[in-house]
Each structure stands twice: as C-alpha cells, then as structure tokens.
Amino acid sequence: MIGKITGLVDYVAEDHALIEAGGVGYVVACSRRTLAGLKPGRPAALYTEFVVREDAMLLFGFPTLAEREWHRLLTGVQGVGARVALGVLGALGPEAVGRALALGDATAIRAAPGVGPKLAARIVNELRDKAPAVMALGAAAARPAQVHAVAPSQGAAPGVAEPAPPEDEHRAASLSDALSALTNLGYGEGEAAAAVSAALASGAEATPQGLIRAALKALAAQV
C-alpha cells in the first residue's frame, strides 16, 4: 500500500503527473486543482490511494488527508468511480464538497464532469449523514502534505508542499469545534453539519463562537 509519495515533479499532464521518488517515476492521477499546484522540476508531496482493478493498477494523489477521505467516501457510492470522484473534487474543492453534501445540494455536485442529476442525487442521499465525519477531522487533516529532504534549496511546490495558511487552519479548527459543540447539544451529525455549512455560507464569523451562534440561529428558524 502506497500512502504518500514525496519527490520531484517530472511533468504535469491533463489528468496526471509523473513524480520521481527514489529513482522511480510514479504516474499519479490527480484532480485539476491538485495538478495546478504541481510544477515540473519542483518538489511535491501527495497522500495517495492505490487502486487495483482487473485491468489496471492506479495511483491517485491528494494534497491533504481530508481530500483523500472525501475521495474514499465518494467512491463508496454506486456509479462513482475513482476518476469521477476526482472530477467532483476538482470542480468543487474539498470544502465545497462537504458543504454541498451537508446541505443536500445536488445541483452543486452536478457541476462535476460526468455527474448527471440522478447520480448527483444519489451521492447527496447516501453521503449526507456520512459527511460530518470527514468535516470533523479538522485542521490536521486539512494541512497539505509536507516535503521532507527533497531538494530543499528549490523550495516547496506551490499549493502542495508549503504549510497551510494560518487562516485556513483556524477555519478548519473552528468548523470542527462548532460541529462537536452542536452534536454535544444533542443535534444529529447531519443536522449539525448542515447548520454549520449554512452559517459559513451566510458569512458568519469563522470562529467557533461565531459559527455556533449562527448555526443555532439557523436551527431555531427551522422549528
């Protein structure tokens, strides 16, 4: 099982990149968002998922653990293959995927290539209650994979190897804290996730207190 790859980017294609690690070139399929952050000749670090099929062995790469977990969750839905799941992540990004699932927004999922209305509805119906588990992973899972001992003088690959901006980590931590607080108050995970996502979308202050206040207000309005 290959869980992470760290090396130099040899080239970037439309749907994959070739990363050389330990003298071996690995073809890694990635979303378009991830590929946009990879630069030939620069170091990169990606968490990976190794998929074995009857006709192929494929390696998929993700800049964060959270994105890899979203990919695993998506591929658990009938009709969603590994590349379709990459398309969803590439079109929306991991945060927007979580928000769409928590809010039951099938229209947002349809923005991904190869996802029609029936498949989008199935994705939302099957994953709406499972999404909070990934959303609650917090800042640690949202932090990009780190490059270790790979051409340090050349710097890190933009968007892949550099540490996550502090504001992104704070927002992920606030999201996790708000979800935990609402579930401790007795709200279901799906209900809590939808309320927190609605709070974020409304422009609420991205602190635990701000998200909890806005989420509780949204929940109260539903009664």
Q: What tens digit of pLDDT does each residue of 34-46 get?
A: 999 999 999 999 9
Residue 116 maps to a domain: no
Residue 2 maps to a domain: yes
What confidence score (pLDDT) does residue 164 get? 46
DSSP 148: -
Residue 107 maps to a domain: no
From the list 23, 20, 24, the residue with the least C-alpha distance to 6 is 20
pLDDT in tens, 176-204: 778 777 877 778 877 888 888 888 778 88
Exposed/middle/buried for residue 117 (C-beta within 10 Å: 0-12, 13-18, 19+): exposed
Final residue in a domain of this structure, among 16, 42, 63: 63
Exposed/middle/buried for residue 36 (C-beta within 10 Å: 0-12, 13-18, 19+): middle
Of the listed ranges 9-13, 59-63, 159-163, 192-196, the least confidently predicted one is: 159-163
Residue 8 maps to a domain: yes
Q: Domain count of the chain?
A: 2
Residue 191 is part of which domain span? 162-222
What's this model's pTM, rounded to 2 decimal places? Answer: 0.71
Of the listed ranges 39-48, 100-109, 211-220, the least confidently predicted one is: 211-220
Residue 203 maps to a domain: yes
Residue 200 maps to a domain: yes
Final residue in a domain of this structure, among 20, 45, 63: 63
The CATH number linked to 9 is 2.40.50.140
Residue 204 or 47, more confident: 47
From the list 213, 186, 184, the residue with the least C-alpha distance to 198 is 213
- For 57, left (φ over 0), alpha (ψ -120 to 50), or beta? beta
Residue 32 maps to a domain: yes
Residue 3 or 153, more confident: 3
Round to whole Å and give the CA distance between 77 and 47. 21
Final residue in a domain of this structure, among 15, 41, 63: 63
pLDDT in tens, 81-98: 999 999 999 999 888 898
The CATH number linked to 204 is 1.10.8
Residue 7 maps to a domain: yes
